[in-house]
Structure 1
Amino acid sequence: MSAMAHEIPTQEDVVLDGFLALDTPLGFRAELIEGEIVVTPPPSGRHEHIIAEMVDQIVVGTDTPMHFSGNKGLRVESAGALSGNHVIPDGTFAPRELSLFRDAESWMPCAGVAMVVEVTSQRAEIDREAKRRSYARSGIPLYLLVDREKGKATLFSEPEGDDYTTAHSGPFGKEIELPAPFKMTLDTSDFG
């Protein structure tokens, strides 16, 4: 009689399974970031105002027509041996011609994503550090961080390894140049 071998799940597997089985309250977002389950309450009006201002500008000003999603789950790379991160950026932009969101799973890969956006809220350090590194590891070309606490916007570009090699920051009110495929100037004067 042969014994069946059973794999013992790792702690990371247990956390991932638990995360994927979560029944998050309506309006809340649950993300798995570097092995930690992070649940975020619905955003404030100021947070959503910044997203709306940015989307309005990009939709009419971008060189390449873009699709936008404010709730798209992305599977992004995590550090070391941890299971992949599952994040929901405040904004995800992809070239319209790719129709990335049309048939995407709840948690889609990031191939084809042109830019992700985060507007800081209660746990700003996650947006500043863990998410930035995950987006870079995943090869997302542009990451726009709107840091409400610091009153500035930073565009990270040229991902390499665990981080972006280029960052352009400015206080709210200063314009930010979005490179190709956007090729436009983003006005941040109404972000504050």
Structure 2
Amino acid sequence: MSDEAATQSAILLEIFLELDAGSPECVRAQLIEGEMVVTTAQAGSHEHCLSRFTEQVVRRHEFSISAHKGLVLPSYGPHPDNHVIPDLTIVGRREFRGAPPWWRPYGELKMVVEATGDRPELDRTAKRRSYALARIPLYLLIDRERAATTLFREPGDGDYLVHHTAAFGKPVPLPSPFSFDLETTDFL
């Protein structure tokens, strides 16, 4: 990385951290592949899909689920680390205890979930690659524009090596530690 690129990355990271993005109730600020991404409250259908997913998981397991956990993850190229807030972050029952606001969660995460919003390509590409680089074992993408759910698994070589896509209305088999078929009919 050139000195100029390193300086620009350092300045971007400093500005991002100065935002005090720790109040995601109103605004969600993320740093993804060298771009600051600020979003506000999402449409009801976005939250509806996430709620239906959460209900199915909670009925079967005792995981901790957060919609506000900041993750520090690797990025591609000459960018500062990604600072991402997934729509849902799923960990073991007590894993959030003692975690800082921006967490490097290597090994503790079970799954991250994104429902596409205003900028679906970020969820489909940049975030997916960042989750794979961090070796997060499962990434579930609820793609509202394409009316499909994709489960990415087996992170390696900077991306997920295996994925399964099902149209809304078709079940998505979730592997261990979830071990159930996710119903997607209600995502429609």
- Give TM-score, length-normalised by structure 1: 0.90
Aligned to 1:84: 81
3-state secondary structure, aligned to 1:13: helix
Aligned to 2:58: 59
1:69 aligns with 2:66: yes
3-state secondary structure, aligned to 2:186: coil
3-state secondary structure, aligned to 1:30: strand
Shift in Å at residue 61 of structure 1? Answer: 2.2
CA deviation map 1:16-66 (0-9, x unaligned): 01001115685110000000000011111111111111001001124xx21
Aligned to 1:100: 95
Distance 1:100 1:82 in 2: 28
Q: Where do residues 32-181 of structure 1 align in structure 2 (5 Å cutoff)? A: 32-62=31-61, 65-96=62-93, 99-111=94-106, 112-181=108-177
Overall identity of the aligned pairs, in %: 47
Distance 2:20 2:101 in 1: 14
Amino acid across the alignment from 1:172: F
3-state secondary structure, aligned to 2:109: coil
Aligned to 2:29: 30
Distance 1:23 1:102 in 2: 21
Structure 1 residue runs of 4+, over 3 Å off?
Answer: 23-26
3-state secondary structure, aligned to 1:190: helix
Aligned to 1:191: 187
- Give TM-score, length-normalised by structure 2: 0.92
Shift in Å at residue 81 of structure 1? Answer: 3.2
3-state secondary structure, aligned to 1:18: helix
Amino acid across the alignment from 1:92: T
3-state secondary structure, aligned to 2:177: coil
Distance 1:182 1:20 in 2: 35
Aligned to 1:4: none
3-state secondary structure, aligned to 1:37: strand
Shift in Å at residue 110 of structure 1? Answer: 2.0
Aligned to 2:11: 14
Shift in Å at residue 171 of structure 1? Answer: 0.5
Shift in Å at residue 134 of structure 1? Answer: 0.1
Larger mean CA deviation between 72-81 and 145-154 belongs to 72-81
Distance 2:77 2:95 in 1: 28
Paired residues in the alignment total: 182
Distance 2:44 2:26 in 1: 14
Distance 2:14 2:38 in 1: 16
| 5+ residue gaps, structure 2 | none
